[in-house]
Each structure stands twice: as C-alpha cells, then as structure tokens.
C-alpha cells in the first residue's frame, strides 16, 4: 500500500479545519454553539467585537459546514452542525474546553438574551 490522493486530502482537510479553529473567537463560538443555539446579536453581546466581525466568523464556520442556521423572524439562530463530516474532529477539540454557558448567563443578567427561541 502506497501513498494515495485521499491521504493528501486528509492533510488538507485537517489543516484547514485547524486553521479555522485556530482563532480564539471562532473556537469559543463553536464551543458555545455546540452547547446552546444563539442568534447573531447574542454573540455580538458576548464577544467584544462588532456585528460584521461576528458575521464574518460565522460565515467561515458555516462555509466549512460546522454550523446550521435557523431563521426565526428577524433573528437567525446558529448551532453546531452535528451532522458535519468533521463533527467528530470538532468534538475532540471542544471537549477539552470549559463550558461557555456562563456567557449566556451573563447576557441574561444584562437583559440582552433573545428568549424567543
């Protein structure tokens, strides 16, 4: 058995995934969205970045197949796509991270939670 094209693809796929998750904001977003569906404005309230910055991170994660989106009225709720072919890899990474649910609780204290879901 020798080197195959699939081998190369595996290196490409994994390195691209790691590059995507090698950003602290995106990694945190994935951890949180694996625990709890959130809309964009909640994520904006949680992270110290602008709405476009959050949108752009979400776009990259969605393009890679890591997110599901779910519109309800004017809000778009995002959550981890557990059907992604890369979900197991994602899971093995975020399982190491502390829960981010406390961020949602902080949002609630500030009255910024969108609870229409």
The residues binding DNA (CB under 7 A) are 19, 23, 25-26, 39-41, 44, 49-53, 55-60, 69, 71, 73-77
**Among DNA, its own copies, none, partner that 69 touches (CB below 5 to 8 angstroms by kind):** DNA
Query: Which residue, chain included where needed, has tokens 């009225």?
Result: 73
Q: From residue 27, give the alpha-carbon distance in Å to each of 32, 58, 110, 117.
A: 9, 11, 24, 23
- In the bound state with DNA, the residue whose beta carbon lies nearer, of 19 and 82, is 19
**Among its own copies, DNA, none, partner that 39 touches (CB below 5 to 8 angstroms by kind):** DNA
Instruction: Rule CB under 8 A: say whether 112 interacts with its own copies.
Output: no
Among 63, 102, 108, 117, binds its own copies (CB under 8 A): 102
- Segment 41 to 70, residues that bind its own copies, using CB under 8 A: none
- In the bound state with its own copies, the residue whose beta carbon lies nearer, of 73 and 85, is 85
Q: From residue 95, give the alpha-carbon distance in Å to each of 20, 34, 47, 51.
A: 17, 10, 21, 27
CB count, 10 Å around CB of 100?
Answer: 19
């Amino acid at each position: 058995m020798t080197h195959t094209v699939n081998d190369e693809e595996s290196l490409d796929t994994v390195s691209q995934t790691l590059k995507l998750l090698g950003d602290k904001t995106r990694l945190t977003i994935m951890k949180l969205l694996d625990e709890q569906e959130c809309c964009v404005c909640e994520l904006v309230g949680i992270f110290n970045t602008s709405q476009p910055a959050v949108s752009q991170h979400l776009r990259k994660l969605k393009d890679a197949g890591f997110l599901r989106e779910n519109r309800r009225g004017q809000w778009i709720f995002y959550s981890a796509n557990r059907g992604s072919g890369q979900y197991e890899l994602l899971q093995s990474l975020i399982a190491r991270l502390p829960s981010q649910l406390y961020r949602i609780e902080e949002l609630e204290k500030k009255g910024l939670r969108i609870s229409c879901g």
